[in-house]
Structure 1
Amino acid sequence: MAAHRPKSPLLVLTHPNWTLAATILASSLAFIDGSVVNVALPAIGRSLQSDAAGLQWTVNAYMLPLSALLLMGGAAGDHFGRRRLLVTGILLFTLASIGCALAPGLDVLLAARAVQGIGAAILLPNSLAILGNSFRGAAKGRAIGTWAAAGAIAGALGPSLGGWLVGTIGWRPIFLLNVPVAAAAIAIALAAVEESGEGKQPLDWTGAGLATIALFALTWSLTMWSSAHVMSGGAWAGLGGGLAALGLFVLVEHRRGERAMMPLGLFGSAAFGGLTLLTFLLYAALGGLILLLPYVLIVGGGYSPLQAGAALLPFSVGIGFGSRLMGHVAEKIGPRWPLTIGPIVAGAGFALLVRVEPQASYWTSVLPGMAVLALGLAGAVAPLTTAVLSSVDEAHTGTASGFNSAIARTGGLIATALAGAVIARSGTDLITAFHGAALIGAALAAAAGVVAFLTLPARLDRPG
């Protein structure tokens, strides 16, 4: 079934592909930024005289508000209007990107990165909710597959282009890559995207505050532990406080019922619970790899930033070309088998990365693992997104997409916090620690596939 036709007389572009284009461009901002900064970390560290903990926070300052506020961003779109929040998020993200490019020191960079994370937390769930609301049936599977493919391709181009910029001009211009993409996304959204979601869901400020506090405290304590290799009193306090805030969050959401930011009734479905656990496991594994592999190749293998960025190309391009097809396949046969087989194959790809050695050839050490990993994730990314949107009623698509994105970013956030234990190493110890991280990633991905097999039905139809 085709997309809904815009009703507003102000809309001048009526083809559904314009809606798809707007959501792709908007979400690509976050995908590009998330991949390109990892390639620039060594250069940022040298330029701003940052230690391993500072480099972790260059990533975490973005990931923390992104993870903590995705729920609120999706719920706000369901309440105030998804197109309105999409444009707001893009504007905020773009202004913060310019701030990153102009940052005179690490403190300013971290502050601007945090604002970027807030903008991404607003734009990401609303871009996906708009997509889920605009297409039906097989058209939805194809649209989400295209969305996922475009995001993967953007993630592929980001490290290569960013690596070239870092090697020739410096790390600051990488943040300006976002500006033309943002301008195009805003123009198309205002001209072609129909408003949806206005007034459908109440806002839950208490829940948002508790989720933010919990994630901040947990991530801070894990980062402190992974950097110092010991749990200090402050780290234990952060861990305890984060767990307490998480418990309060669950209690508050339970009492608010359907008025909650994250209605716990959604977890009455085994499928939604299984998709949540699968997402956490798979993206925790992936988040650690995307951060660590470029760093290890540059610091341990002597790669240039451009070479390290290009090393990720087979991975992202493979996902890009496979996601559209698998989105269509999952719509036909259901998500259970793609989400079972895909993560298990990805786990084999993670395991192959133990072949990465400083002096080994890229073709025999890095490429085999990246190719197998791309094959597995191509089978999982689009079906996962489609399954999440199909597991809830239409009124909660923004909340559900925000929650699922939050779980994915939280998995990556925790992996980033723990990655400090690898980044702090040097020489052969760095390579050994990376091999251990690759095996952990393999186990997490394989476990995600098992979860899908045990919890998902053959077909997954949206509740009425």
Structure 2
Amino acid sequence: MKPIIAEPGEAVAERPYSVRWALASLSLSMLLPSLGTSIANVGLPSLARSFDAAFQDVQWIVLAYLLAITTLIVSVGRLGDVTGRRRLLLIGILLFTLASVLCGLAPTLWLMIAARALQGLGAAIMMALTMAFVGETVPKATTGSAMGLLGTMSAIGTALGPSLGGLLIACFGWPAIFLVNVPLGLTTFVLAYRYLPNDIGARKKDRAGFDTMGTLLLALTLSAYALAMTIGRGRFGLLNLALLLTAAFSAGLFVFTEARIASPLIELPVFRNRVLTASLAMNALVSTVMMATLVVAPFYLSRALGLGEALVGAVMSIGPVISILSGVPAGRLVDRLEAPFVIAAGLVAMTAGSTALAVLPGIAGYIAGIAMLTSGYQLFQAANNTAVMADVQPDQRGVISGMLNLSRNLGLITGASVMGAVFAYGAAASEIAAARPEAVHSGMQITFGVAAALIAVALTIAAGAYRRRTNSEGA
């Protein structure tokens, strides 16, 4: 059966098997980048020992991947319009798969980091273009369900990484956490090649729309920011300050440039929508906390609680199970209740979960905290994405979905760098892999005390956005 082909915004003729397999390819294209984000975290202790590296150096295995995604995800969406989405998506899948092989075979830490950056480029292409393909592969009446499916796959990939990674490391060693992507990537490529619609010819006028300067300035901003949060092994010195000032200057230059070019990378007027701005800010804060769980938990469970790698993965699988079970009900709850109410409920649950992780001891305390945190995250994500995308015009969906991805990845970078620094500070040790159990426990308490405060800030933002929305509707 031939792939479904439709103009953007048009309903697609009912072709059940084609729609099903096209969605399967898109689901895998969303799952793999999310899996790539989280699966490496559980291997950080093993990688630190294997490469004889400090905690802050090993963090770059995570940061290089996230930086590549964050700096490029908006640009590759525009590039897909120029060169053809299907063609670029296939290239992205192959890049991701090839980079996974290079990661698994890397003999040194810095070659590993370079391969992870290449893997991040492939992941950025997959994440950006997967969302854009929904309107071309499913009937318009079921677009919401398809978007919900992709959101669920992203959450499953993020949540599944630690447990799958722990199992693979215990059985085959750390290279397996990267090589597992190879058969999945090849399967995704075959399905995408067979079932996704052919490219509609790109218009020549779109070629002027690729914002190279904006991409470079955004990359400079985020790279300087991540370096400022990582260099110094938990201590903030003059170099860190200089990097933060560089990030601030380049961010200002980025805004100045975007306001004056014909086809900016990010449309600055979208920030005039206060509800959208609030949603993006909350998304970044929530992602910061969720990334902190992935970075800190393996060290807490292994060093403070003395669990082996296999048992660490088993305990951390509680999160994936809850994520899988709560994703669909969360989406249905959003359909029945107002999105702001579900956003607030999710943030309250996340605050309770972060507090539990900070104060409750032992494995039981960890499980209770992560259960509340994960279920709250699912509620928040389903409601926040619905609230943002509900009233977006068809020609703006790509821009807004790109902004959601950007805010999420900014939060992930913050979680991996800032919260990692908070953890190292709380443990009073630059070498976390060798820290005493009581020091690691102290770092865990301080980290999730900060996490609870961040979610409380997000809850305050949600309340303010709801009041503004209510006042505007009343007027």
Q: Report the TM-score when normalising by structure 1.
A: 0.89
Structure 2, unaligned stretches of length 5 or more? Answer: 8-14, 425-429, 471-475
Find the counterpart in structure 2 of residue 330 from structure 1.
334
Distance 1:449 1:78, change over 3 A: farther
Distance 1:210 1:120, change over 3 A: same
Q: Aligned letter for 1:400? A: I
C-alpha contact (below 8 Å) 2:6/2:137 kept by paired residues: no
1:273-293 Cα distance to aligned partner (Å, 9 max, x none): 121111111111111122111
Q: Aligned letter for 2:421? A: G
User: Alignment partner for residue 352 of structure 1, among 356, 359, 375?
Assistant: 356
C-alpha contact (below 8 Å) 1:93/1:116 kept by paired residues: yes
Find the counterpart in structure 2 of residue 461 from structure 1.
none
Distance 1:77 1:445, change over 3 A: farther
User: Alignment partner for residue 430 of structure 1, among 432, 440, 446?
Assistant: 440
1:241 aligns with 2:246: yes
Q: Aligned letter for 1:411? A: G
CA deviation after TM superposition for structure 1 residue 155, in Å: 3.4
CA distance in 2, matches of 1:83, 1:268: 33
Distance 1:27 1:35, change over 3 A: same
Partner SS state of residue 15, structure 1: helix
Find the counterpart in structure 2 of residue 229 from structure 1.
235
1:320 aligns with 2:324: yes
Q: Aligned letter for 2:378? A: A
C-alpha contact (below 8 Å) 1:274/1:455 kept by paired residues: yes
C-alpha contact (below 8 Å) 2:422/2:446 kept by paired residues: no
C-alpha contact (below 8 Å) 2:31/2:156 kept by paired residues: no
Find the counterpart in structure 1 of residue 376 from structure 2.
376
User: Alignment partner for residue 285 of structure 1, among 286, 289, 303?
Assistant: 289
Q: Aligned letter for 1:422? A: F
Identity of matched residues, % = 28
1:43 aligns with 2:46: yes
Q: Aligned letter for 1:255? A: R
1:448 aligns with 2:448: no
1:89 aligns with 2:92: yes
Distance 1:384 1:320, change over 3 A: farther
Q: Aligned letter for 1:447? A: V
Partner SS state of residue 259, structure 2: helix
CA deviation after TM superposition for structure 1 residue 196, in Å: 6.6
CA deviation after TM superposition for structure 1 residue 60, in Å: 1.0
Task: For CA contacts below 8 A with separation 6 or more, give which structure has more relative contact order.
Answer: 1
1:203 aligns with 2:204: no
CA distance in 2, matches of 1:385, 1:85: 25
Distance 1:386 1:188, change over 3 A: farther
User: Alignment partner for residue 309 of structure 1, among 307, 313, 322?
Assistant: 313
CA deviation after TM superposition for structure 1 residue 195, in Å: 4.9
CA distance in 2, matches of 1:256, 1:331: 39
1:93-137 Cα distance to aligned partner (Å, 9 max, x none): 111110000101111111101111111111112112223665577
Q: Aligned letter for 2:92? A: G
Find the counterpart in structure 1 of residue 279 from structure 2.
275
Q: Aligned letter for 2:71? A: A
CA distance in 1, matches of 2:94, 2:303: 35
1:172-219 Cα distance to aligned partner (Å, 9 max, x none): 111011111111211222222225784495211111110000000111
1:264-312 Cα distance to aligned partner (Å, 9 max, x none): 1212222221211111111111111221112211122221222222222
Q: Aligned letter for 1:130? A: F
CA deviation after TM superposition for structure 1 residue 356, in Å: 5.2
CA distance in 2, matches of 1:254, 1:391: 24
CA distance in 1, matches of 2:406, 2:112: 23
Distance 1:341 1:135, change over 3 A: farther
User: Which has the higher mean CA deviation after the structures are superposed, 135-144 or 182-191?
Assistant: 135-144
1:172 aligns with 2:175: yes
Number of aligned positions between the proteins: 448
C-alpha contact (below 8 Å) 2:346/2:377 kept by paired residues: yes
User: Which has the higher mean CA deviation after the structures are superposed, 214-223 or 304-313?
Assistant: 304-313
C-alpha contact (below 8 Å) 2:5/2:137 kept by paired residues: no
Distance 1:93 1:7, change over 3 A: same
CA distance in 2, matches of 1:17, 1:388: 26
Q: Aligned letter for 2:243? A: G
Find the counterpart in structure 1 of residue 12 from structure 2.
none
1:410 aligns with 2:410: yes
CA distance in 2, matches of 1:155, 1:417: 18
C-alpha contact (below 8 Å) 1:60/1:416 kept by paired residues: yes
Distance 1:52 1:398, change over 3 A: same
Find the counterpart in structure 1 of residue 267 from structure 2.
263
1:29 aligns with 2:32: yes
Find the counterpart in structure 2 of residue 212 from structure 1.
219
CA deviation after TM superposition for structure 1 residue 354, in Å: 1.6
Q: Aligned letter for 1:435? A: Q
CA distance in 1, matches of 2:191, 2:463: 40
Distance 1:54 1:35, change over 3 A: same
Find the counterpart in structure 2 of residue 462 from structure 1.
none
C-alpha contact (below 8 Å) 2:159/2:323 kept by paired residues: no
